[in-house]
A and B are shown apart, each in its own frame.
Chain A
Amino acid sequence: MTAAWALFLRDFRLSLSAGGGFGLALGFFVLVAVLLPLGVGRDLVLLERLAPGLIWLGAALAALLSLDHLFQADLEDGSLDHFFFADAPLELLVLAKVAAHWLTTGLPLAVAAPVLALLLNLGTDQWQPLVISLLVGTPALSLIGAVAAALTAGLRRGGLLLSLLVLPLYVPILIFGAAAASKGPGAPELLLLGGLSLFALVMGILASAAALRLHVS
């Protein structure tokens, strides 16, 4: 238990430190919301209709960018080998890393979403479903992304391959997330999104740990 907690704290602090990339995903997220009206057109009515889906798309892409180095640094400096000698099971350590990732990526995105909603003319009564859907759905993004990150860690051009692997798996999360973002807390889409996150919790952790074992031989 202490090994997992120590790993979680380490990753959390590393992300928050200078060069840890904490602000980068957030900055990208906001920039996407800035660029979207410039590309799609400044029609406020249109933007309001598109806003939940576009914000969700921004969240998915921002998560994608930050997944690249989830296991990369640990693989490079050899700390990945130490994961296998820790007193905690590898799956718990992976959970610790993904939890730190979500706290520094998904959670800030969900909190920053009202700012984007403002930029995209989404009414304030719509903010609550949007933030709730992001809070429920972004863990799934981190968990499923961790599988692809573990599989592509250490590969050249791993980042591009990561995107190709992860985006098809993000499709159901995006579909249900964007649908839940415009409906209230009792909506079936939100419940399904929660189900997806729970399923990702089990499958993502198991598959990521299995993939990490490949890098040690």
Chain B
Amino acid sequence: MFGFSNPQRFWQLSSALLPWVWAAAVLLLLTGLYWSLVASPADYQQGTSVRIMYVHVPAMWMAMACYAFLAGASLISLIWRHVLADVAAKAAAPIGATFTALGLITGSLWGKPMWGTWWAWDARLTSVLVLFFLYLGYMGLWAAIDDRVKAARATAILALVGAVNLPIIKFSVDWWNTLHQGSSVIRADGPSLHASFLYPLLVMGLAYMFLFAGLLLVRMRTEILNRRIEADRRRRAASETLVPTSPEGAPHG
């Protein structure tokens, strides 16, 4: 892990990895989309609108996975002061927030024909909405604190406090009577979904994961570049003198 804490090394590694990550993401996405939207069977009850599942479920998987990643990176950042850990957490947050929003919107679109309502205040939907606001609060705290080291540690604490929400989201459909259906994939008895639905779903899940990985690496590289620019500007500002030494700036008279 500490071999990767050197930003230079990370830069080289990510430069090498990125084309493959994007290639995998595009390939998996195209395969998954074709398989799920065209080649998979329609549900006997829901008809073709079951296909929203292939976009909605992986988005929600990623929404939770991103937060878990963020919380894990925050923990590493706090305990080991790992240089790139807080960069990774900061980079992951907007991606996770977008996945959450995507999941909420697609879920709402699915809910209207299926349940008859765009929204319900059941445990699953409410806890995912809370997750969305946790993401926003996390991003807001990063933006509000000027000192970068202080911001990294403050947001790490916030991320860990909010991580309590993750098991609540996962088990909300078991602990409460919810409108949202129970777990069909990640359960103690194994997936209850038929293979013809499960496999395209897993391909889409994998595609979303590679998409996240690609976006994360790009965002992390951008953040590293931003910090280099900032450091460079500071160095220049510190070395500027008030009285110019060049002839053009020589005082008159």
A-to-B contact residues, CB < 8 Å: 147, 151-152, 155-158, 161, 164-165, 167-169, 171-172, 175, 203, 207, 210-211, 214-215, 217
Contacts and interface: CB of A to CB of B under 8 A. Distances in A.
B157 A168 contact: no
A165 B158 contact: yes
A210 B155 CA distance: 12
Contacts of B134: 168
Given A147-B158, A207-B160, 13 more contacts: A147-B157, A155-B144, A157-B144, A161-B144, A164-B136, A164-B140, A165-B141, A168-B165, A171-B126, A171-B130, A203-B161, A207-B161, A211-B157
Given A167-B133, A168-B133, A207 B162 contact: no
Contacts of B150: 214-215, 217
A164 B154 contact: no
Nearest to B151: A214
Contacts of B154: 151, 211, 214
Contacts of B130: 168, 171
Contacts of A207: 157, 160-161
B243 to A, nearest CB: 34
Nearest to B161: A207
| Top 7 closest pairs, chain A to chain B, by CB | A168-B133, A165-B137, A168-B130, A164-B137, A151-B154, A155-B144, A171-B130
Contacts of A155: 144-145
A207 B74 CA distance: 13
Nearest to B131: A168
Nearest to B165: A168
Nearest to A211: B157
A52 to B, nearest CB: 16
A155 to B, nearest CB: 5
B161 A147 contact: yes
B180 interface: no
B153 interface: yes
Nearest to A164: B137
A168 B137 contact: yes
Contacts of B133: 164, 167-168
Contacts of A172: 168
Contacts of B126: 171, 175
Given A168-B133, A171-B126, A211-B154, A151 B141 contact: yes
Interface string B160-178: 1110110010000000000
Interface in B182-235: none
A176 to B, nearest CB: 12
Interface string B104-139: 000000000000000000000010001001101100
